[in-house]
């Protein structure tokens, strides 16, 4: 039998060969993405608002009833959010923890961390509405995280993690629905198209800030069909609670501008791999053809009447028995099943180049 020298001992050639194959396999199966780093609003907030004085919270039942252990975590959903699902899909952990959650530390955050805050927006005035974390503060937390990461991994490994991590950014809906259309200040300053441009300018600055800090692989999500959110349908009385097409039109206009921004930034910033993640099309298809995806209800959410309830208005005693039949969990946020469908679609499209 052939033997091969391996250190100070000899081993059968066939065993050496198997070990070599396993090492090669491990290198191929190892995640291309070392960490998932998240910025944004309630669409991706995994619980940061639990630790600030705001009413924009969901760390109570019935939220989280389909999460691991049935525990409410501060996610505005019955289960997991897109970053959790995407993290697991790329070979990392099945959840992305909130940065402000004291039960997690840098050993957890080294593989995934969320800085998002429910109720926030690109516009600082949006975060003021409910007293949540503004986007600039999310970036400050990220800087703090980088210091901790370097201390934990060492400078070289931390630099690699920062540059190779996948950055998921989902933000903008609150700027329109919670701020522009709900309060008079911005309407007096801007037409809706001017406000779109104002937000695009803020998005430019934000991405540039991340780039300067070392981020290179960034997914910038567009707006959803926000006129079809149950709360928007509820207020659309004149059209028999149909989707508010004026809001959907604004979302489409904004998304086109965001796509143009992505193209410009990729040209202007060497080494940047910025992608526009289009959740609008798949989300609208789910809403307009729910049975295609196994849903029974798309007009209202699972929580309460499904027409206006979210956050503290959601009662654990008045929710649907099976959230998988509902496109929406509450009057503003999709169910876990919807999140999964959208996440898997993004993994096959905009995020495919990263995974």
Convert 127-148 into a string of H (helix), E (strand) and C (coil).
HHHHCCCCHHHHHHHHHHHHHH
pLDDT of res. 4: 31
Residue 317 CB neighbours (<10 A): 7
* Cis check: omega of the bond before 62, within 30 degrees of 0: yes
Q: How far apart are CA 314 and CA 281, in angstroms?
A: 28
pLDDT-flagged residues of the chain (< 50) = 1-30
The answer as to whether 115 is a domain residue is yes
Contact in structure between 171 and 135 (CB atoms under 8 Å): yes
- Is there a domain that residue 315 lies in? no
Q: What is the pLDDT of residue 23?
A: 39
For the stretch 35-94, pLDDT in tens is 999 999 999 999 999 999 999 999 999 999 999 999 999 999 999 999 999 999 999 999
Task: Determine, yes or no, domain membership for 107.
Answer: yes
Q: Please count the structural domains in the chain.
A: 1
Domain membership flag for residue 326: no
pTM of the model: 0.90
Give catalytic residues, as residue numbers: 42, 330, 333
DSSP conformation class of 299: E
**First CA to last CA distance, the chain:** 42
> Which pLDDT belongs to residue 31?
60
CATH number at 244 reads: 3.40.50.1110
User: DSSP character for 349?
Assistant: T
Q: Residue 150's domain spans which residues?
A: 31-229+236-281
For 10, the enclosing helix (H) or strand (E) is strand 9-12
Nearest alpha-carbon partner for 269 in 197, 333, 218: 218
Which 8-state DSSP code applies to residue 312? G
335: in domain: no
Q: Does residue 306 fall inside a structural domain?
A: no
Instruction: Please give the Cα distance from 345 to 330 (Å, whole number).
Output: 22
274 within domain boundaries: yes
User: Which has the closest alpha carbon to 286: 347, 222, 345, 350?
Assistant: 345
What integer pLDDT is reported at residue 7 of this predicted model? 35
> What pLDDT is stored for residue 20 in this prediction?
39
Helix (H) or strand (E) holding 37: strand 36-40
* Residue 40 forms part of a structural domain: yes
Q: Is 323 helix (H, G, I), strand (E, B) or coil?
A: helix
């Amino acid at each position: 039998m052939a033997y091969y020298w391996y250190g100070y001992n000899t081993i059968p050639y066939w065993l050496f060969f198997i070990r070599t194959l396993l090492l090669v396999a491990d290198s191929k199966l190892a995640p291309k993405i070392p960490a998932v780093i998240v910025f944004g609003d309630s669409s991706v907030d995994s619980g940061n608002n639990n630790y600030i004085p705001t009413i924009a919270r969901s760390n109570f039942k019935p939220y989280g009833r389909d999460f691991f252990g049935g525990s409410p975590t501060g996610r505005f959903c019955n289960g997991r959010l897109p970053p959790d699902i995407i993290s697991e899909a790329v070979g990392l952990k099945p959840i992305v923890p909130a940065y402000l959650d004291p039960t997690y530390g840098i050993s957890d955050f080294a593989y995934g961390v969320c800085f998002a805050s429910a109720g926030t927006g690109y516009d600082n005035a949006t975060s003021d509405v409910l007293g949540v974390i503004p986007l600039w503060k999310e970036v400050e937390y990220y800087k703090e995280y980088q210091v901790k990461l370097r201390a934990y991994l060492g400078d070289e490994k931390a630099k690699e993690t920062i540059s190779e991590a996948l950055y998921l950014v989902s933000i903008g809906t609150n700027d329109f629905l919670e701020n522009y259309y709900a309060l008079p200040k911005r309407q007096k300053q801007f037409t809706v198209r001017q406000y779109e441009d104002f937000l695009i300018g803020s998005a430019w600055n934000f991405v540039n800030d991340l780039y300067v800090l070392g981020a290179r692989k960034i997914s910038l999500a567009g707006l959803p069909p926000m006129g079809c959110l149950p709360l928007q349908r509820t207020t659309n009385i004149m059209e028999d609670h149909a989707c508010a097409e004026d809001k959907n039109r604004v979302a489409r206009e904004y998304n086109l501008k965001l796509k143009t921004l992505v193209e410009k930034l990729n040209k202007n910033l060497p080494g940047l791999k910025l992608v526009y993640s289009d959740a609008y099309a798949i989300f609208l298809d789910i809403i307009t053809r729910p049975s295609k995806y196994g849903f029974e209800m798309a007009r209202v959410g699972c929580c309460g009447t499904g027409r206006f309830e979210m956050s503290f208005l959601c009662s654990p005693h008045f929710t649907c028995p099976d959230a998988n039949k509902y496109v929406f969990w509450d009057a503003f946020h999709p169910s876990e099943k919807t999140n999964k469908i959208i996440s898997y679609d993004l993994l096959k499209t905009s995020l495919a180049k990263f995974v």
